[in-house]
Every structure is written in structure tokens, then in C-alpha cells.
């Protein structure tokens, strides 16, 4: 809450989230329909997460964000990010951290038309050549682009790639929560560092 700056926003805007929930959109938005499609796909195999209560929280938070920022609205990936948030925070806190992620921590247009994500894949490919030229050459040899799997890393911020909590007895096990702490500290550069770290670990 403090690392993201969400705490200050929440305190400065009491009742704002409730007002969004009660707000009736003035025009049809297909994003609401897409949310309904994605709710059942969000960690549906995780019995500890997938409950009716968590489903309702996801729906409310994502719907409220569409009303707050219709330019971004909703895109696939935000459901996984929000799902992680509600396992660690209250519904209200999760909403404000989501706002900060999209509007302050990640680059502009990161989720809007996925422009930021596409650009970041090109940047990662260049960084991969700079830091791991042998891996880069190996992938080129086999006509294999890193974005075929790293796009999901960036869209979901590793939410459906890494385990929530690391095994404290295994120092090599990187957890999603560790990565997000890093991201809240360094911003998007933290995600690039983690991505390169994974390439180095799997080399």
C-alpha cells in the first residue's frame, strides 16, 4: 500500500470506490461482458482462491476501474493481477493498488491497446542480446522469438507464471510477491530485471 502510493490516494478519496460501484454507465461498454467471460478463467484450478466471494470482489474491482478509466477499461491480464491483490489486501486496498499500477507505476499506454506491452517486448529482446548474446543467438538460430512467452510475463506481471510465496528453504525459488515488491520499488525496470534474471537462471 505504501510502496505503490495507494494508501495516500485511498485516504484522500473516501467513499470514491463506493461511488464508482453505484455509478451507472451512460453507454454500453463491452469490457463488462469481457470481465464476465474471464472471471471463471482466473485461477479456476486453484480451489483455495476460486470462491464466490473472490469472484464477486474481482467483478466489483474490475468494473469500478472501467468506470474510473474507460480509456483503459479492461483487458485480459488485469483479472490475474487483481486476483493476486485480493489475496493480500482488502477489496478497497486492492482497487487503489490496481489504479496505481496502471496509472503511475507502469508506462503510459501499457494496457491501452497493449501498446506499452508490445514496445517492452522489443526492448527485452534488445536487452537479451546485450546481456545474454548466446541465448539470443540460439533463439535466432531456431527462429524463436522471446515474445511468444514473455508477453504473458509482462501482461500479467508474472501473476500466472510464478508461485505466490517462495519456498524459504530454497533460495533459488523466486516468488511472485518478491517480484512485486521489487516492481513497487523500481517500477517497470524491475520487471525487466526479473525477466533477464529468469533467462540467466534457466540458461
Q: Give me the pLDDT at residue 171, please.
A: 57
- Domain boundaries for CATH 1.10.472.80 within the chain: 113-202
- For 113-202, the fitting CATH number among 1.10.10.10, 3.90.1150.10, 2.60.40.420, 1.10.472.80 is 1.10.472.80
- Using a cut of 0.75, tell me whether the model's pTM lies above it: yes
Do 185 and 93 form a contact (C-beta atoms < 8 A)? no
Which CATH architecture is the domain 6-105 placed in? Orthogonal Bundle (1.10)
Find where cell 509482462 sits: 154
Mean pLDDT of 145-163: 89
Question: pLDDT tens for residues 109-142?
Answer: 888 777 888 899 999 999 999 999 999 999 999 9
Task: In whole angstroms, give the CA distance from residue 166 to residue 85.
Answer: 17
> ∠86-87-93 over CA atoms, to 5°?
35
Q: Give me the pLDDT at residue 161, please.
A: 86
Q: Give me the pLDDT at residue 115, please.
A: 82
Amino acid at each position: 500500500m505504501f510502496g505503490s502510493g495507494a494508501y495516500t490516494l485511498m485516504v484522500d478519496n473516501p467513499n470514491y470506490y463506493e461511488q464508482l460501484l453505484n455509478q451507472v454507465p451512460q453507454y454500453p461498454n463491452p469490457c463488462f461482458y469481457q470481465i464476465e467471460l474471464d472471471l471463471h478463467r482466473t485461477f479456476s484450478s486453484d480451489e483455495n482462491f476460486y470462491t464466490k466471494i473472490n469472484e464477486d470482489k474481482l467483478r466489483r474491482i474490475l468494473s469500478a476501474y472501467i468506470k474510473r478509466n474507460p480509456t483503459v477499461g479492461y483487458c485480459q491480464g488485469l483479472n490475474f493481477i487483481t486476483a493476486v491483490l485480493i489475496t493480500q489486501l482488502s477489496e478497497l486496498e486492492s482497487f487503489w493498488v490496481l489504479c496505481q499500477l496502471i496509472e503511475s507505476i507502469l508506462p503510459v499506454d501499457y494496457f491501452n491497446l497493449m501498446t506499452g506491452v508490445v514496445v517492452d517486448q522489443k526492448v527485452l529482446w534488445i536487452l537479451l542480446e546485450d546481456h545474454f548474446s548466446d541465448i539470443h543467438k540460439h533463439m535466432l538460430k531456431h527462429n524463436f522469438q522471446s515474445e511468444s512467452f514473455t508477453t504473458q510475463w509482462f501482461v500479467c506481471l508474472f501473476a500466472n507464471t510464478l508461485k505466490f510465496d517462495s519456498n524459504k528453504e530454497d533460495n533459488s525459488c523466486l516468488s511472485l510477491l518478491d517480484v512485486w515488491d521489487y516492481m513497487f520499488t523500481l517500477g517497470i525496470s524491475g520487471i525487466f530485471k526479473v525477466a533477464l534474471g529468469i533467462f540467466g537462471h534457466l540458461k
